[in-house]
Copies of this chain bind each other. A is one copy, B any other.
Amino acid sequence: MVCAALAMRAHEEVSFLHANYGQRTQNRELKSFQAICDFYRPTIRKEVDITWFSEIGGSALTDNSLKIRDYESSDLVPNTYVPFRNANLICAAVSWAEVWAASAIYIGAVEADSSGYPDCRKVFFKDMQAVIDSGTLDRTKIKLLTPLIDLSKAEIIRLGHELGAPFELSWSCYRNDDLACGTCDSCVLRLRAFSEAGLKDPIPYLER
């Protein structure tokens, strides 16, 4: 959402693309997407169905037989890693961008303060840019932009706050649809970031 706010500030026309990939909180994330679209009013709002992800398993986000663990500080990639997810998201976006003749794709990935997912590393996005350049028509010129990649999550919260991003409409929890759990990786990193930024997270959390 903060990335979308940056794109809205930088361009006359912006379209929003949302992926339903069979994640546990798919319905909640879609609701957030729609609310954020109502707020920013992009030129085009589009959902893409890549729910085949829930068939492959291998990730606790898309496979209900795997448990989403509470946050633990570790160098290991957690089981919420969805195999090659960001590559699939970006490739879908490139197909649309080529037809829409868009000049750039924004994605809000973060390297430093993420969970060690390989497809959040800067080198991955650099390599992806090469694929976009070689795999599309010669007239197509799409820049893959990751404006948040070097920021900490606390810096992203501060930036979103400055840009007036509607944090109350966003959703990060891996587990729940109604009250965020507060203990999964995504909640813990989010809450810590709000705390470091000296701001209050406006979404509702489970009482603990």
Q: A57-B99, A121-B134, A130-B127 are in contact. Are A91 and B88 (CB under 8 A)?
A: yes
Kindly state whether residue A39 has any CB partner on chain B within 8 Å: no
CA distance A95 to B123 in the complex (A): 19
Kindly state whether residue A160 has any CB partner on chain B within 8 Å: no
DSSP class of A's interface residues: helix, strand, loop or mixed? helix
Kindly state whether residue A103 has any CB partner on chain B within 8 Å: no
Number of copies: 2
Q: A119-B135, A134-B121, A138-B118 are in contact. Are A91 and B84 (CB under 8 A)?
A: yes
Residue-wise interface mask of A (88-116) relative to B, using a CB-CB cutoff of 8 A (1 in contact, 0 not): 10011011101100000000000000000
State whether A96 touches B130 (Cβ < 8 A): no
**A49 / chain B contacts, CB cutoff of 8 Å:** 49, 51-52
The chain A residues found within 8 Å of chain B, CB to CB, are: 48-53, 56-58, 77, 81-88, 91-92, 94-96, 98-99, 118-119, 121, 123-124, 126-128, 130-138
